[in-house]
A and B are shown apart, each in its own frame.
Chain A
Amino acid sequence: MFGQRAAELIRELERASDDALPPYKAESVRGICEEMQGIFEANCRDRVNLDADGIEQATAVKIQHAMHFRDTAMSRNKRCLIAYHYNRMERLRNLRWSLGGIIPTAIRQTLSEKETEWFSNYSKALTNYMMDVAELPDQDPADPQDPVVLDLTVHQRPPKEYFIDVKVLVDYGNYETQDGETIFLKKHMRLCMARTECEHLIRQGILQHVQ
């Protein structure tokens, strides 16, 4: 029966929790495309058969029914593929907002090549937009000073305090803060950092917020 691989693909993505990205199933996607190609070719053959001379009316009707049947299956496969990619893209976009511009390696492995490309494009567009928003109206565009970026991805909930206490969970190494200072992040360190600085690091599981 048609459409079984497509259903399998969707089922896997649907079972994963709402923001998880299971590994990209390149092989299934290729298999579904091949199935669609096969359906398309079969329909083309039937179209030629329909045009042939001396075909009985009854056979022609049967052929038309079969073509319709296969066409439905093809639309279904198309819908599954589009929904699969669209939903993965949605989740990837949520990642950009919660984790910042760099994808952690653990997640990077689950993405396809096109998805990585899309992510970097989206990230670039978002950064440009944030720079546009932050631009002061009286700033001379010919003489750009330090580019000011208004980071829209932090403070998605109203913050209560400017500095927060954090604990370092992994050996991270050097981390450069926005004012140019470098901090060496080592496991079990306790720090008091600006909330804007460490929000992404907390989301990535490098720091832990303590009270």
Chain B
Amino acid sequence: MKNASLALTHGNYLSLSDIMVTEEKLLCTLTTDFHGLGYIQPSTRSENGDLVEGTVLDLPLWMVNPMKRNQWLEFQLPTAYQEEARRILCADPGIVEFRQGSRCRFSQNHYPLGLYIIPLADNINNSSLLATQIVKKKSLTLEEAKEVRSSLVSTFQLRFRQIMDWSNKTCHDTSAHDLKRLDRSERQLLEIGKAEQNSLISWNQRKKSKILKPSTAIKNARLMTDYADSRKRARIEV
């Protein structure tokens, strides 16, 4: 069965897409020393090869999560979830492109990544934060996490309407330009919607196809071997 929906893959140990989400990098500042790991960030290591406090480096989410729980690092909220990006999403979520290279660096895993980041918020409210002067570290506060969460929800609500529209109206291909704008989970939703719409249409017209089709796995494998064969033949001819 296809694990299409985000609810099934989020946090699932064996899910490939969840592994890819947790591979996303966050900019972190270490708040403690690590013995002998200086080779990870050679530019700032100490003389005896330690990874020292204050080092700034990109760490994948799977590393940030347990380290943050131990308070060994502070991470910076990715641009795509910061105030400016939230304002853009608030203005009109429909036109934002969720892909690499876009403004504010929205990623293809906007929703699942956000879901992972929100629980990492520091459980201190703003006033005591000011008192302890940690503000300069730009870490995620509880207030901000709440805003990120409500922004995720409203973004999804408004964009979902558009996806629903597309899947109802276009029984053919949605243009590549539109597809590029979608988050990965949104794209899956669109595909499910289109498939259902098509089967509804064919049921309405009593046109249920009875034809048996060859397996796609076979087709792919055959294409691959054909390609390898043609390469081999080309090499012999040369």
Contacts and interface: CB of A to CB of B under 8 A. Distances in A.
A10 B23 CA distance: 10
B50 A203 contact: no
Interface string B69-110: 010100000000000000000000000000000000000000
A62 B33 contact: yes
A203 B225 contact: no
Contacts of B222: 106, 205
Interface residues of B, number: 40
B221 A21 contact: yes
Nearest to A104: B218
Instruction: Tell me which of B37, B217, B224 has the highest count of chain A C-beta atoms within 10 A of its own C-beta.
Output: B217
A73 to B, nearest CB: 7
A17 B224 CA distance: 13
B211 A211 contact: yes
Interface stretch (A29-37, A81-89, A127-135, A138-146): A81-89
Interface residues of A, number: 54
B63 A203 contact: no
A106 B226 CA distance: 9
Contacts of A19: 215-217
Contacts of A106: 218, 221-222, 224-225
Interface string A86-108: 11000100110011000010110
Interface of B: 2, 13-17, 19-20, 23, 32-37, 40, 50-51, 60, 62-63, 66-67, 70, 72, 210-222, 224-225
Interface of A: 1, 3, 7, 10-11, 13-14, 16-21, 42, 46, 59, 61-63, 65-66, 68-70, 72-73, 76, 79-80, 82-83, 86-87, 91, 94-95, 98-99, 104, 106-107, 109-110, 160-161, 164, 199, 202-205, 208-209, 211
